């Protein structure tokens, strides 16, 4: 009798475990990256087909009239009349990206900058004011401080992480706060909870560029941010072979912004969308390797006598380490550091590297290295570069998916010239 009772208990436990497995609360991000967005493809294809067309036909005027009547109330699902307003391949990618970001909807653009500029043009009018943090991507700052100024939109730049300065910069005309997390190149981490608290108090919308994090490491919308943007060229695509941008947020707000895309025309190409969809399927594997390599390389560099300082959110020495620990599930594949030497010494170190290739960008399967003083700020003098926080001996290392041990050996031999 005792044995029967024990067996019964074991069977009950197994049944309870099966019930837990049958109904998970939500698929994990890697599963979403592979499967979200639906699987009912034409011709029973496992991959979303590339729909290559500029225009769409109607069988008769009755079908056209019905379509136009429905469109008055918003987009008609699965139907459009012209390629600038939608594409099935692009729509499939947008659905997957929205799922990854826990968003109501997402829009795919021709580039990350197209996503940023189109959004700002849609949300801001003459007389409005926006605030950006000083460690934002330099082209974003340039657009806000020069182009928008010509349209009568005022911009204030505040130090990253200085919420007192942020509150002091708010005016009655402030409509938007723009920031990044992590930032480029010093990988500062934005306190999303505090940002949302300040913005909500003043009824201001928030936009965060989370390109360096990917949705696998942080999802700003889940912290209350209104809009999140990515240069999909980087980690999301993952192979350095396409340009794209994505904006995600609440469905109603995204619907308004999609109308602006139809006017300005910075749309994504279906072939690029298909490549991006392919890249998303391995996002979980790639980011896991890059997170692991990033942490290991950062710790190696921090302990190396030829390195002055390392910036990586996974290090306790990073100014925002505590924030990163609280809101990120991984710290990414970018490590920034300064070597002990001047501009020329740093160049010799970079030239000696065998695995990372000298190039801009990040997030792909190949490791890339850049010397910001020469690549992004070449036209400035040393003094001018220092004024914007760029040191001559600064290196930004964007790790790919190579074996971590090989990367360490390569860094060690290259640092011998320092």
The per-residue pLDDT for range 396-415, each reduced to its tens digit, is: 999 999 999 999 999 999 99
CATH 3.40.640.10 in the chain is located at 32-51+87-280
Q: How confident is the model at residue 305 (pLDDT cuts 50, 70, 90)?
A: very high
Residues 6 or more apart from 148 whose CB is under 8 A from it? Answer: 120, 124, 130, 155
pLDDT at 77: 66
Helix (H) or strand (E) holding 168: helix 163-169
Q: Which candidate in 209, 269, 320, 392 is catalytic?
A: 209
Domain with CATH 3.90.1150.10 in the chain: 284-417
Contact predicate 392/382, CB 8 Å: yes
Instruction: Write the CA distances from 261 to 35, 107, 406, integer angstroms.
Output: 27, 9, 44
- Rounded CA gap, 132 and 12, in Å? 57
CA distance 278 to 240: 13
Distance, CA of 385 to CA of 379 (rounded, Å): 9
For the chain, give the mean pLDDT.
92
Candidates 84, 194, 348, 352; catalytic one: 84
What is the pLDDT at residue 335? Answer: 98
Please tell us whether the domain made up of 32-51+87-280 is placed in CATH 3.40.50.170. no
Tokens of 181: 């997390």
List pLDDT tens digits, range 149-168: 999 999 999 999 999 999 99
Contact, 216 vs 280, CB < 8 A? no
- Residue 113: what are its φ and ψ, rounded to 5°? -65, -35
**Residue 61 carries which DSSP code?**
H
**Terminal C-alpha separation, the chain:** 77
CB atoms within 10 A of CB 149: 12
* Cβ count near 59 (within 10 Å): 7
Any catalytic annotation for residue 281?
no
Task: Read off the pLDDT band of 17 (50, 70, 90).
Answer: low
pLDDT at 2: 43
pLDDT at residue 269 above 90? yes
234 is catalytic: yes
Nearest residue to 327 (alpha-carbon basis) of 212, 189, 205, 214: 189
**Rounded-to-integer distance, Cα 166 and Cα 189, Å:** 15
The encoded tokens of residue 405 equal 């041990």
Task: Give CA–CA dist 2/8, Å, rounded.
Answer: 10
Give the percent of the chain with pLDDT over 70. 92
Q: Find the range with the poorest average confidence among 318-332, 354-368, 375-389.
A: 375-389
Instruction: Report pLDDT digits (tens) over 109-129.
Output: 999 999 999 999 999 999 999
Q: Give CA–CA dist 409/418, Å, rounded.
A: 15
- Is residue 323 scored above 70 in pLDDT? yes
User: Active site includes 385?
Assistant: no
Q: Give dist(CA 382, CA 371) in Å, integer.
A: 13
Going by C-alpha positions, the residue among 81, 364, 84 that lies closest to residue 211 is 364
- 95: which DSSP letter? H
Has residue 23 got a pLDDT over 60?
no
Q: Strands (DSSP E) along 273-346, which ranges?
A: 307-311, 334-339
**pTM of this structure:** 0.90
Q: Give the mean model confidence (pLDDT) for residues 242-269.
A: 96
Q: Is residue 281 pLDDT above 80, yes or no?
A: yes
Is the per-residue pLDDT at 253 higher than 80?
yes
Element (H, E) at 155: strand 154-158
Report, at the CATH architecture level, how domain 284-417 is classified.
Answer: Alpha-Beta Complex (3.90)
CA distance 157 to 148: 14
What is the average pLDDT across 13-31? Answer: 68
Task: Report d(CA 411, CA 397) in Å as an integer.
Answer: 10
Q: Is the pLDDT of residue 1 over 50?
A: no
Beta bridge partners of 336: 311, 396
Sign, Cα dihedral of 225, 230, 234, 238: positive
pLDDT at 78 over 50: yes
Annotated catalytic residue, options 188, 234, 258, 396: 234
């Amino acid at each position: 009798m005792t044995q029967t009772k024990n067996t019964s208990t074991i069977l009950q436990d197994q049944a309870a475990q099966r019930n837990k497995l049958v109904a998970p609360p939500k698929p994990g991000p890697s599963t979403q990256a592979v499967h979200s967005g639906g699987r009912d493809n034409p011709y029973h294809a496992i991959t979303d087909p590339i729909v290559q067309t500029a225009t769409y036909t109607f069988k008769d005027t009755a079908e056209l009239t019905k379509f136009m009547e429905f469109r008055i109330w918003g987009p008609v699902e699965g139907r459009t009349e012209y390629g600038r307003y939608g594409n099935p391949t692009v729509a499939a990618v947008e659905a997957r990206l929205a799922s990854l970001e826990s968003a109501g909807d997402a829009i795919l653009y021709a580039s990350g900058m197209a996503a940023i500029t189109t959004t700002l043009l849609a949300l801001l009018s003459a007389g409005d004011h926006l605030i950006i943090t000083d460690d934002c991507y330099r082209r974003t700052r340039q657009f806000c401080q020069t182009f928008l100024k010509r349209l009568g939109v005022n911009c204030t730049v505040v130090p990253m992480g200085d919420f007192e300065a942020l509150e002091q910069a708010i005016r009655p005309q402030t409509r938007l706060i723009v920031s990044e997390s992590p930032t480029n190149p010093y990988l500062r981490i934005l306190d999303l909870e505090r940002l949302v608290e300040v913005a909500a108090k003043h009824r201001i919308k928030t936009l965060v560029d989370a390109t360096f994090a990917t949705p696998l490491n942080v999802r700003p919308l889940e912290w209350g941010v209104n809009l999140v943007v990515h240069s999909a060229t980087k980690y999301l695509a993952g192979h350095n072979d396409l340009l794209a941008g994505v904006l995600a947020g609440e469905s109603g707000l995204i619907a308004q912004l999609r109308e602006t895309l139809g006017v300005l025309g910075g749309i994504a190409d279906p072939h690029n969308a298909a490549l991006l969809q392919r890249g998303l399927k391995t996002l979980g594997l790639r980011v896991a390797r890059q997170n692991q390599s990033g942490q290991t390389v950062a710790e190696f560099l921090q302990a190396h006598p030829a390195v002055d300082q390392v910036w990586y959110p996974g290090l306790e020495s990073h100014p925002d380490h505590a924030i990163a620990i609280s809101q990120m599930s991984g710290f990414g594949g970018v490590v920034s550091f300064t070597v002990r030497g001047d501009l020329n010494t740093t160049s010799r170190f970079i030239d000696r590297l065998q695995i990372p290739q000298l190039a801009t960008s990040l997030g792909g399967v190949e490791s890339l290295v850049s010397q910001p003083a020469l690549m992004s700020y070449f036209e400035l003098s040393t003094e001018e570069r220092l004024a914007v926080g760029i040191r001559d001996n600064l290196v930004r290392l964007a790790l790919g998916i190579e074996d971590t041990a090989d990367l360490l050996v390569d860094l060690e031999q290259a640092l011998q010239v320092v």
